[in-house]
Structure formats: structure tokens, C-alpha cells
Structure 1
């Protein structure tokens, strides 16, 4: 039930472990802080993490008004939906691609989303069935690519950009996680995973580097505790960085012609 959703953005990565879900959660909260009505869909069918990161208690199940659609679970002011609400934490989703794609379609279309300015979709890593299903079933306004400065992560990020280009979904920009480590004792900055990679990839694909996030323990701790950085410490440097990203995303979404969805073309 997407009729009341104005725009959809996908938060994606070419590989796992780069902080994509952390980015999706904090970006959604930062968009909300900018005055937007925001929903958050966990499209990572095999490894859903949004419920834990948003502080939703294990065993929470979405209500249903008519037996055919789900009512989103409210968390930190966001309308959320995840496969984690339908199975236990220990249930492995041992499904083939078509089954996972069908589950995504149900979560996307059978959730009774309210009047949302933006629906943020936390994608699974990679460029497979789930990504193509979303491109086919929803008018995605744009995608945000998450990476780290590490060469192998940047290589996979490029594959993600290429995939969205093929399905005619604009890439709004790149977010670089774990860009620099600031020593808590002496203040020394160390680019553990390299530097400048995100900016170079953005330039190569005529997009922009939306922001660089430090390798900061508090980001991980806040996510694990169920109260992400933007919600827990809205005045912190971390929250301000996500706020800057959110404002850039809003500017780009406003510039897009949202009167019609992107044309889907498969070569």
C-alpha cells in the first residue's frame, strides 16, 4: 500500500559489514528531525536488524486491521516494518531467491503505510533478487550507496552504482563509513581503511559524497542499545553529520520529478 508514500529511497551497499543498516536507521531519523514524515522498511529478508537497532522488543508482531495488511510498528517516531516482526530472532530464513523476493513484495505492498514524505528502504548487501524486485515493484526516487574507504568495499560499491544505473534509479550519493579513527587518548587521526576512496568513486560516477562518518564506538553502541545516535544525542557531532546528509538528500529529492517513477529497463 504505497499510495500514500511520496518518495522511496533505497540505502544499499555492494557488500556487508560497511554499516548500511546503521546508516539507514540514522538517515531515517535525521530526515524525521528535518520535519519529514518517515517510514523505514527492512528489506534485508535474510538478516533483518532494524528491529534491534530501533529498540523494538523481541516478539513484537504487527497488528492487522483487516487480516490482509500489516499495521507498521512505531519506533522512535518512525513507521517500521521488518521480517524480524514475523519470525523469531533465531529463525533462519533458508529461502531461495523467489521466496525472499515474494516476502519483500508482501512487506512493501501489504503494509498499511500512512502519509509518508519518505520511505527509507534498508536493502540487503549485493545486487541480487531483492534489489531487482524493489526496482520492478516500486517507483524508487533514488538510492544512497554506503561503503568504507577500503578498496574491496569501493569495488563492490561501484557494482551497486552500476546496478542502479541499469534500472534507471538515480544514485543520490555515497556515504563513507569508518572514514577516520580519532584516538580517544591523544586525538590522533588514523585512516585505518584508507582515505579519499568514496570521493573518487563519487567523482567517477558523477554523483556526490554525501558525508564521511568516523569509526566511532558510540555509533555501534547506540545501534546495539536500540537508540541510534541521531535519537540518543541529537546535538552530537555524529548526529550533525547525519543531519547534513539528510538535508542533501532532501534537496535532491525536491529536485527530482516525482510526478512519475523511473522507467525500468533491463538489458
Structure 2
């Protein structure tokens, strides 16, 4: 997916400060693409962060993250004896995807008129996870790895077929992990898991809306961003949540 973005190394001091607070609030050492894209649109990152920051700081987002993880149906994978570093990478994506799904769904639904409800219990964010290895680019991958990544991405049947979930790219550091996933995942199974994660996040949203900060005045670029936010919270992120949780379980069983 070709979205304008501001990468962490290119961030201005103001954007870098939000990125640092976001990493701390989520507990992962990377910033998700949807946030980097928001930074490239005038005033959109400020609009997003003003709402998300209190929910992250209070532990409300972490509580929602944990409840979503507990309620999502997870596909069955055989135990995996994962190479060193894989478990930390999977946990980075689980924590990031679950937190972003919770917070960004709440922001999107509030912008569409959803009302707050009684907040759920807060939870600790958790210790910062290790910095993941560099994220490979699809164009730079060996042909065999690129074919595996494209095949897995196609099983998501995303409305924008150019989207490649970042976890698949990151796992090309360990291509044997992708080879294990490929025969297990099916388009119908991925769709069912995604729809279940969307529903669980939507059910959690009213309580999390109560923990959001006030929304600033809508910036001029917001309409276009909301469409991308819907793509990420209805398709891209929730499609990866059950897969990441299944990998977490399989790696834990394989230790």
C-alpha cells in the first residue's frame, strides 16, 4: 500500500515526541503505519493523539487490548519450535495490533457518533519489548520469500489488494515460519477471524470511548484519513489479530 508517511528517522521534533510517547504507551519499539500516515497529513496526527493519549496513559487501552485478546477466536496451529527472536517479534505485533485495534476503533466509532459507556478495567501496558529487526521491503525479497508473502497477503482478500501485512514481511527473516503458516490459513478462515476481531473491538469501544481525550476540531484532511482508518480497523489490523495470537500460542507450546 502506497500511503504517504513520516518515518521515525524523518520526524520533526514535534512528531518525534508523539512517536516516543506512542511507543511508551503501547509498549512496543515501533510505530504502526497508520500513525506514520497520520503524521503526513496536516494536523491529523495531533487530532488522533489528543484522543488516544489519555486512554494509553490510564491503562484503559491496555485493559481493552487484553479483553479483546481473550475473546477473539484463534485458529489452531501445531506447536512451533521458533528460532530466537521470533517470540519477541510476534509479541510486538500482538501488542501493537491489539492496542491499535482497540483505540483506533473507539476513535473511529466516536467520530461516527457512538456514545461512551462505563469503562472497563485498566491494565498495565507491560515492559517495553525489544526493538524488532529491520522491516524488509517486498521488492527486495528473494523470489521465493516474495511469493510466500504475496500468497499469504492474498488470503486476506483486502479491498486494497496492494496491502501487505507487515508481520509477513518481518517474518521473512525466518522464512520457515511463513512456510508453516501458508498451508494452515485459508481465505474463509482469515475472513472469519477478522470479522470476529472487528466485532469484539466494536463491543469494547463504548467503554474505551469514555477514556479518550476530547477530540480537537476536525482538520481539513480528516475525511480522507477516516476512510484509511476504516480500512485498517475493519480489515488490515483485525485480520492479523487472530493470526498473531495463534502464533503466540503455537510458539509457547513449542518451547
Alignment TM-score > 0.5, same fold = no
Taking structure 2 as the reference length, what is the TM-score of the superposition? 0.25
Q: Higher relative contact order at CA 8 Å, sep ≥6: structure 1 or structure 2? A: 2
More strand by share: 1
Which structure is higher in helix share?
2
Q: TM-score, normalised to structure 1's length?
A: 0.24
